[in-house]
Amino acid sequence: MSFRMPPIMHNAHGAIRRVGLELEFAGLEPDIASRIVQGVFGGEVRKENEFTSRVKGTEFGDFSITLDAALFKEKRYEIYLAKAGIALQPESSHALAQHLLKMASILVPYEVVTPPIPLDRLEAMEELREELRFHGARGTRSAIRFAFGLHLNPEIPSLELPQVLAYLQAFLVLYPWLLHRANVDFTRKLTPYIDEFPHHYVQKVLKEDYPPAHLIDDYLLYNPTRNRPLDLLPLLAQIDSRTVMAAEVERELIRPRPAFHYRLPNCLIDEPDWTLSEEWNNWVEVERLAADPSRLRRFCRRRLARPRGADMDQLAEELEECLQKDL
């Protein structure tokens, strides 16, 4: 399956848009995964510590390979030990890190974070996915305790609030269909990382007369968390950092950037039939809807007409039919 391209290929500066990817998995430690990345894209491997490696200087930029927990990759546990009066010598620090690495890898995923990739070069990411799978990377369904995800960070064409609102509305309308298409693993549904947007918020934002000027304040009021299937906090912080960082949000987790943070898909990296392009192509339907104002209004009206608690599978089927007919 090839990567479909969205209707808007360039950003406000005329450059081709880019997308960053984050792949969570088990089974490969950072030094092994970094050598795999180097084998595909070249560059220089630099090991920062037992939990984090980087591949610097590839044609796309720098890749990061890390244990996905700040406590470990930033060695915050050493701060707590120091407060308790325990000063680690280099030898004991390394031994402790190795021990923690083995324990943490039971639950905490490793993660390959790519640099922003131009949309017309996304095919290169399938080679990386296949190499990681071939060398033993394990995905979401390889153990019941794994809640691994694939995160897509597509650059937004413009930081204008009306366009941000169009994308958000398109996502909220298509959410039942995206959830069905992603076939989100049960374990991931139990975690808070992809909690649904509140019903009242969805109803508010989908109204035809919803003013874009209210977008940031309302989002912060109803969604003061990164734990949404479409996390807008990094994007909104790029637009208005002062307002976002003054809110009761996880400030230490927010890195402003002109991109969405789509985190709904599983990361089925060990399953030979799974592809990155399939998950990306689902996202492109959001882009297509957002780029067609009259079509988006029709979809919003249909969604608003559905009662609260409507069957999600039925909504997904209706949306599939609408998308097939390209209403």
DSSP output for 228-268: SSEE-HHHHHHH-HHHHHHSSS-GGG----SB-EE--SB--
Q: Compute the distance between CA of residue 37 and CA of residue 129 in angstroms, rounded to an integer.
A: 10
DSSP-derived 3-state class of residue 36: helix
Percent of the chain with pLDDT over 70: 86
- For the chain, what is the mean pLDDT? 88
Percent of the chain with pLDDT over 90: 69
Using the predicted structure, report yes or no on whether residue 228 has a pLDDT greater than 90: yes
Q: Compute the distance between CA of residue 276 and CA of residue 117 in angstroms, rounded to an integer.
A: 13
**Residue 38: per-residue pLDDT:** 97
- Going by pLDDT thresholds of 50, 70 and 90, the confidence category of residue 308 is confident
Provide DSSP, 254-320: ----SB-EE--SB--TT-TT--HHHHHHHHHHHHHHHT-HHHHHHHHHHHHTSPTT--HHHHHHHHH
Task: Tell me which of 37-51, 119-133, 306-320 is least confident.
Answer: 306-320
Q: Which residue has the higher pLDDT, 78 or 147?
A: 147
- Rounded to a whole number of angstroms, the distance between the first and last alpha carbons of the chain is 24
**Residue 162: per-residue pLDDT:** 98
Using the predicted structure, report yes or no on whether residue 47 has a pLDDT greater than 80: yes
**Residue 98: per-residue pLDDT:** 53
Using the predicted structure, report yes or no on whether residue 106 has a pLDDT greater than 60: no
Average the pLDDT over 71-79 and give the result.
43
**Residue 63: per-residue pLDDT:** 98
Using the predicted structure, report yes or no on whether residue 88 has a pLDDT greater than 60: no
**Residue 325: per-residue pLDDT:** 78
**Residue 71: per-residue pLDDT:** 42
The type of residue at 312 is: M
Using the predicted structure, report yes or no on whether residue 150 has a pLDDT greater than 60: yes
Task: Tell me which of 156-170, 177-191, 218-232 is least confident.
Answer: 177-191
Average the pLDDT over 290-317 and give the result.
90
**Residue 147: per-residue pLDDT:** 82
Structure tokens belonging to residue 286? 């959001």
Using the predicted structure, report yes or no on whether residue 171 has a pLDDT greater than 50: yes
**Residue 68: per-residue pLDDT:** 65
- Going by pLDDT thresholds of 50, 70 and 90, the confidence category of residue 180 is very high
Using the predicted structure, report yes or no on whether residue 250 has a pLDDT greater than 90: no
Query: Residue 290 burial (CB < 10 Å; 0-12/13-18/19+)?
Result: buried
Map tokens 């960053």 to a residue: 20
CA–CA distance from 221 to each of 208, 245, 277 (Å)?
Answer: 20, 13, 34
Spatial contact of 234 and 254, defined as CB atoms under 8 Å apart: yes
Q: Compute the distance between CA of residue 222 and CA of residue 196 in angstroms, rounded to an integer.
A: 11
Residue (of 170, 195, 180, 171) closest to 315 by Cα position:
180
**Residue 109: per-residue pLDDT:** 82
Using the predicted structure, report yes or no on whether residue 93 has a pLDDT greater than 60: no
Average the pLDDT over 34-54 and give the result.
93
Structure tokens belonging to residue 249? 């949000």
Most confident by average pLDDT, 21-25, 74-78, 138-142: 21-25
- Please report how many Cα atoms fall inside a 13 Å half-sphere around the Cα of residue 235, on the Cβ side: 24
Average the pLDDT over 22-29 and give the result.
91
